[in-house]
Amino acid sequence: MNAQPRSGRFSQALWYLPVLLITAFFTFPLIWIVMTALKPPIDVFAYPPKFVFSPTLDNYRRVLQSDYMGSLGNSVIIALVSAAFSVVLGTLTAYGFSRYPLRGKDNLFFWILSLRMLPVIAVIVPYFLLFQRVGLTDTVVAMMLVYSVFNISFTVWLLKGFFDEVPREMEEAAKMDGYGPWGVFTRVALPLVIPGIATAMIFNVVQSINEFLLAFVLTQRKATTAPIALLNFLTPMGLDWGGISAAASMLVAPVIILAIIVRKHLIRGMSFGQLE
Amino acid sequence: MTQIQLENVRVTYGNQDIVHDVSFTVESGELAVLVGRSGSGKTSLLRAITGYAPVVAGRVLIGGEDVTRRPAAKRDIAMVFQNYALYPHMTVRENWAFPLQAAKLPRAERDARIARAAETLQMRRLLDRYPRELSGGQQQRVAMGRALVRQPQIFLLDEPLGALDAKLRVEARSAFKTLQRELGTTTVHVTHDQTEAQALGSKIIVLDEGTIQQIGTPDEIYDAPANRFVAGLFGSPPMNFLDAELTRQNGDVGVTCGQMTIALPPQVGAHIFDHAPSRQVTLGIRPEAIRQSPDAIEGSAPASVYVTEPLGHNVIVDIRFSDQIIRARGDRDDDRLANLQPDDPVYIRFDAAQVHVFDRVTGQRFG
């Protein structure tokens, strides 16, 4: 039983080949960025590209001492707060949409989703004027609010699907077991959609951390986010490839760390149909 | 006292009437079975008792109290759902503790009840498993356990055995019947399986198209079905129906069907003859009330064997009789019938005491 036939093991190994190729294809840019960040300036432009070189931390040292760190801090805080806020509000809203009868529910739901489909350029000027009026231009709070608008709509849409999958009988059972609506929500429905919440959290953080256009217009100095700050590596003397790579790799890091933390749930999120 | 009473209950979804004007009583400690085909409204009726179905008219009383507008949580009902509705993120122990926590029971009492249920349902070694790690039969027991630990006034079961395989179903059925008897909890059990209904219920409530067709003991339902629907639902194979004609000769009433005339018992016959709106009726005869013999005997008519289905100690014989196929149950111990082959001639006779006469239009049974 234990010893697999050799041909079986061989064909199994063969299955890994496409997996490895695809993984390599998608991780290559990341690897390239980290490699460039570790290269001395002379090796950055070497042709053909060097895969063996003596690594240096000079680029990281330079970035750490620059203004970029403040912007990175802004980005991380904006992304995390906005994502968390969106998940809390989005989860409650999605549950309401999934479980309670509501007049004009479908239209309302589509309207919320359509906020996400809006081209960013269409709302930049209104946002700018709005924030100017209330004195929120160039603030971290403004960016959190703006990103939440986009994130909440996505979260509601995603989590409604997850809540819809929770069998109604399960909630009826909990009600009969003596729980009120809040108890049913927190003790039965919510634990079952954790994979969905983890997925929403990741997507929201990625969306906020990558966003450029809104941040470019709505921030000037204090609330500048990392993607905007990356522009500072574009100097009159040319592009600082080492610095920009070091900075970019630091921007990717929080997302990767978060993804690793919730990895288990992300995988479960994909196999959610097997709840029963 | 935890009698359940439904008075003229009507359940409507959207503008569709699912249950019309249903009334029945389940006595304290009784095990009642609601039986009907899918879509007959039996689950809606069960949900009316829990409070999950919109009761638009009528009243639901539990223990004499009107609970029609009372939320499910306050009715002291435990239900076993068709898909079990176990909480997948909790172990068996946590699933069972869940209602007890809501009831704010002290920990010691909680543990004691869980231990007792585990004992009863033979789940002791599985208490720390998650539902997904259990087999269908075990999941079914977890669902039962979650209802048991509550010690509710009423048990409601919605096809709890439906997902089990045939052998397990029979075992679970008798285990459940014993358990219900020991606990003495008023129980309503929903099923589409007439065998299950017969085996379990002390009272059977037959439902079709949202109305009650008959309420009675298993024997009453079987021996004196109220109408053609009930007659056709119970028994396997079910009752045979034949077009027949009421006849009267010298005051004796009989039913004639093809070349056979069955003399009805005098009083019954006279009653039917006086009440039937038409001479054209439907004759119903259960497979076991059809006597077969290789030779012509008094009152028998010729027929031929179509196919046979041996079923252990007896055999189902499909017989071609007056242009129809009827199904008879024969005894395999009878050597003369044991080796019947297709197209063999056979003589059949209907047991007059077990002949049912139905109105051909309304399906109501006479007598």
Local confidence band at A28 (pLDDT 50, 70, 90 cut-offs)? very high
| pLDDT(A45) > 90 | no
Say what the alpha-carbon torsion angle B189, B89, A93, A132 is, to the nearest 10 degrees.
180
Partners of residue B73 in chain A, C-beta under 8 Å: 175-180
Domain termination residue (choose one: B233, B268, B283): B233
Given a cut of 80, is residue A162 above it in pLDDT? Answer: yes
Q: pLDDT (tens digit, 9 = 90+) per residue, B116-159?
A: 999 999 999 999 999 999 998 899 999 999 999 999 999 999 99
Q: What is residue A60's three-state secondary structure?
A: helix
DSSP string, B304-367: EEEEEEEETTEEEEEEEETTEEEEEEEETT-HHHHT--TT-EEEEEE-GGGEEEEETTT-BEE-
What's residue A5's pLDDT? 55
B-chain residues within 8 Å CB-CB of A192? 88-89
Return the residue of A nearest to B97 by Cα.
A177
Q: Who among B50, B88, B131 is closest to A176 (CB)?
A: B50
Asked if A135 reaches chain B (Cβ–Cβ under 8 Å), the answer is no
Q: Are residues B276 and B175 in the same domain?
A: no
* A177–chain B Cβ distance below 8 A for any pair: yes
ipTM: 0.81
Across the interface, do B73 and A175 touch by the CB < 8 Å criterion? Answer: yes
In this prediction, residue B335 carries a pLDDT of 66
Radius of gyration of chain A (CA): 23
Q: What is the nearest CA distance from A270 to chain B, expressed in angstroms?
A: 17
| Cβ separation A176–B83 shorter than 8 A | no
The minimum CA-CA distance between A105 and chain B, rounded to whole Å, is 17
Q: Do β-strands B260-263 and A234-235 pair in parallel, antiparallel, or remain unpaired? A: unpaired
Q: How far apart are CA B197 and CA B209, in angstroms?
A: 18
Give me the pLDDT at residue A147, please: 94
Per-residue pLDDT of A77-103, as tens digits, reads 999 999 999 999 999 999 999 998 888
Which 180-209 residues of chain A touch chain B by CB within 8 A? Answer: 180, 183, 187-188, 191-192
User: B222 with B289, same domain?
Assistant: no
Number of domains present in the structure of chain B? 2
**Which chain A residue has the Cα nearest residue B155?**
A176
Domain that holds residue B158: 4-233
The domain defined by A59-274 carries CATH number 3.40.50.1000: no
- pLDDT, mean of residues A114-135: 89
Element (H, E) at A13: helix A6-38
Please report which confidence band the pLDDT of residue B48 belongs to, taking 50, 70 and 90 as the band edges.
very high
Cα B6 to Cα A96, A195, B63, distances in angstroms: 33, 43, 11
**Residue A268, pLDDT score:** 66
CA distance B5 to chain A (A): 19
CA distance A203 to chain B (A): 24
Tell me which residue in B50, B77, B102 faces A179 most closely, judged by beta carbons: B102
Pair (B205, B276) in one structural domain: no
* Whether residue B81 sits in one domain with residue B51: yes
Same domain, B203 and B310: no
Q: Which of A1-10, A50-59, B266-275 has the lowest mean pLDDT?
A: A1-10
Q: Nearest by CB to A175, from B72, B86, B103: name it.
A: B72
Query: Is A169 within 8 Å of B102 when comparing Cβ atoms?
Result: no
Looking at the complex, report in whole angstroms how far the Cα of residue A28 sits from the nearest Cα belonging to chain B: 38
Cβ of residue A178 closer than 8 Å to a chain B Cβ: yes
Which of B81, B103, B131 lies at the smallest CB-CB distance from A173? B81
Tens of pLDDT, residues B182-223: 999 999 999 999 999 999 988 999 999 999 999 999 999 999
* One domain for residues B347 and B217: no
Task: Report pLDDT for A7.
Answer: 63
Together in a domain, B172 and B281 = no
CB-CB under 8 Å, B88 with A173:
no
Asked which of B207, B233, B259 is the last residue of a domain, the reply is B233
Binned at pLDDT 50, 70 and 90, residue B367 comes out as confident
Angle at A252 between CA A247 and CA A258, to 5 degrees: 145
B206 in the same domain as B173: yes
**Interface size between A and B, measured as CB pairs under 8 A:** 58
Report field, pTM of the whole predicted structure over 0.90? no
Mean pLDDT, chain B, as a whole number? 90
Show residues of chain A in contact with B87, CB under 8 Å: 170, 173-174, 188
My answer on whether omega of the bond before B218 falls inside 30° of 0, hence cis, is no
User: Does the distance separating the beta carbons of B98 and A172 come in below 8 Å?
Assistant: no
Residue A164 has pLDDT above 80, yes or no: yes
Do B271 and B128 have their domain in common? no
Residue boundaries of the structural domains of chain A: 1-56, 59-274
**Beta-carbon separation of A175 and B98 below 8 A:** no
B89 CB neighbours in chain A (<8 A) are: 191-192
Q: For chain A, what percent of residues have pLDDT higher than 90?
A: 58
Buried b (16+ CB within 10 A) or exposed e, B170-207: eebbeebbebbeeeebbbbbbbbbbebbbbbbbbbbbb
For residue A21, what pLDDT band results from cuts at 50, 70 and 90?
Answer: very high
CATH number of residue B345's parent domain:
2.40.50.140
User: Do B229 and B244 fall within a single domain?
Assistant: no
Nearest by CB to B99, from A178, A180, A192: name it: A178
Does residue A10 surpass a pLDDT of 60? Answer: yes
Chain A contact set for B72 (CB, 8 A): 172, 175-176
